[in-house]
Amino acid sequence: MPHTLETRVLLEGAEDPRLATLQGYRDIVGGYATLEKAYKSMEQDEVLKELEESGLRGRGGAGFSMGKKASFLPRGDMDKYLCCNADESEPGAFKDRELMQRNPHQLIEGIAIAALAADAGHAFIFIRGEYDSQADVLDAAVAEAYEAGYLGTDILGTRRNLELVVHRGAGAYICGEETALLDALEGKRGNPRLKPPFPAVQGLYGGPTLINNVETLSNVPRIVAKGAEWFRQFGTEQSPGTKVVSISGRVRRPGNYEISLGLPTRDLIYELAGGPLPGRTVKAIYPGGSSSPVLTAEEAMDLPYSFEAMAEAGSMLGSGSVIVADDQVSIPLMALRTARFYHHESCGKCTPCREGTNWTVKMLERVVRGEATPMDLDIISSVQENIMGHCLCVLGDSMAMPVSAMVRKFRGEFEQTMAEAAEGIDPHVVVDAAPETLGAAT
């Protein structure tokens, strides 16, 4: 049963395994009725207008207006493409996995309708290599959709066409960056491209391309079915709609929870995720995945969980993945673990990211080994400053933002760790406790 603080829209009926089949999708949530309506009776501009007016913001990280992005694609007879970003590799994020596994047809219907808005004839779902079983679920659902005439040529006798391919990635976080994803789809090494030109103008195979996240596209069928006004009843003025939030870390019930955006962060953590483990207190959170600047518990708890509130607090909602650290978690070790991840995943193309992630790892290792001095903390901060805004893509910033926030907000703990480590005392290492139960639909 969903928690009373949840607002199930995308996860409606998610407990029923039949939802993953075409018949179940039709029976349980009236699936594909909107595709039929859109393909048979709507023009490109009508679909676009509904999406723009809904205010739907991208759920993959940047929070850009989906309708606006679709409207940037030039008009004309050239081949246009739609890519669904299902790479979901950011630590803390696991909501797309659940959306694809439980309701693959919702995503396929969303892609088909968004393809109308973008006038795209070819669509791809680029799915993270490790999501093997979810890719199998998608393959089966795509086959069913072709069989039923929702994909392919002359869809439902409307003379409109859409080919949809599920493409499995090879397990690199950087391939979630939209232009690296395009290179990977084209069979090259997944390296970010210089922007501009933006993908909407020159993307896959040089053609105009709309790239959106799984959750963004999963919202499309209901927006087109029920209208922008209906969608805006959820969330806030600047963050309309619901959001599937992945909550992990030191909480009793980690899992995915769908909320109306703007719910107090405290409710997310204490009510939905059950709060900290017995005897523990929350110390800090990453509010939007491992790339978001860390907030202290005092900063975070009273904030509404929305794009604008997180930005005003100097962080970001990002992919909507909350990672909770309690008083047992060593912040210097958490910073080191974060830096190691981004260092490992850097494609190495630009110097500030390639060298900066490497230096940061080395300096944080010195901190936890007790070999650093307080001045090294200033150097760590200065390295982060020199990464931010100086790279081709935001992977470098994705390490620099949380690490610099941790050093700034928990400087005393860094200094204490250095002093203790110099005396041979290890920073306390958390051994994960078994969660009480699994949360939400997971």
Ligand X SMILES: Cc1cc2nc3c(=O)[nH]c(=O)nc-3n(C[C@H](O)[C@H](O)[C@H](O)COP(=O)(O)O)c2cc1C
201 vs 379, beta carbon nearer ligand X: 201
Question: Per CB under 6 A, does 134 bind ligand X?
Answer: no
- Closest contact distance (angstroms) between CB of 200 and ligand X is 11
Question: Per CB under 6 A, does 360 bind ligand SF4?
Answer: no
Contact 225, 33 (CB under 8 A): yes
Question: Per CB under 6 A, does 347 bind ligand SF4?
Answer: yes
**Stretch of residues binding ligand SF4 (CB under 6 A), selected from 33-41, 100-108, 301-309, 350-358:** 350-358
Whole-angstrom distance, CA of residue 18 vs CA of residue 16: 5
For strands 242-249 and 122-127, give the pairing.
unpaired
Contact 253, 436 (CB under 8 A): yes
Question: Per CB under 6 A, does 333 bind ligand SF4?
Answer: no
Question: Per CB under 6 A, does 393 bind ligand SF4?
Answer: yes
212 vs 292, beta carbon nearer ligand X: 212
Question: Per CB under 6 A, does 89 bind ligand X?
Answer: yes
**Stretch of residues binding ligand X (CB under 6 A), selected from 41-49, 159-167, 211-219, 237-245:** 211-219
Cis peptide bond prior to 254, omega within 30° of 0:
no
Question: Per CB under 6 A, does 62 bind ligand X?
Answer: yes
Which helix (H) or strand (E) covers residue 411, if one does? Answer: helix 411-422
Whole-angstrom distance, CA of residue 252 vs CA of residue 324: 11
Question: Per CB under 6 A, does 354 bind ligand SF4?
Answer: yes
DSSP string of 266-325? HIIIIIIS--SSTT--EEEEEBTBTTSPPEEHHHHTTSBSSHHHHHHTTS--TTSEEEEE
Question: Per CB under 6 A, does 127 bind ligand SF4?
Answer: no
**Stretch of residues binding ligand X (CB under 6 A), selected from 25-33, 53-61, 140-148, 151-159:** 53-61
Question: Per CB under 6 A, does 391 bind ligand SF4?
Answer: yes
Whole-angstrom distance, CA of residue 47 vs CA of residue 322: 32
142 vs 394, beta carbon nearer ligand SF4: 394
> 């075409």: which residue's tokens?
22
Rounded to the nearest angstrom, the gap between the alpha carbon of residue 255 and the centroid of all alpha carbons in its chain is 15
- Where in 92-121 is the site for ligand SF4 (CB under 6 A)? none
276 vs 320, beta carbon nearer ligand X: 320
Please give the residue ranges that form the binding site for ligand X (CB under 6 A): 58-62, 64, 66, 85, 87-90, 173-174, 176-178, 211-213, 216, 393-395
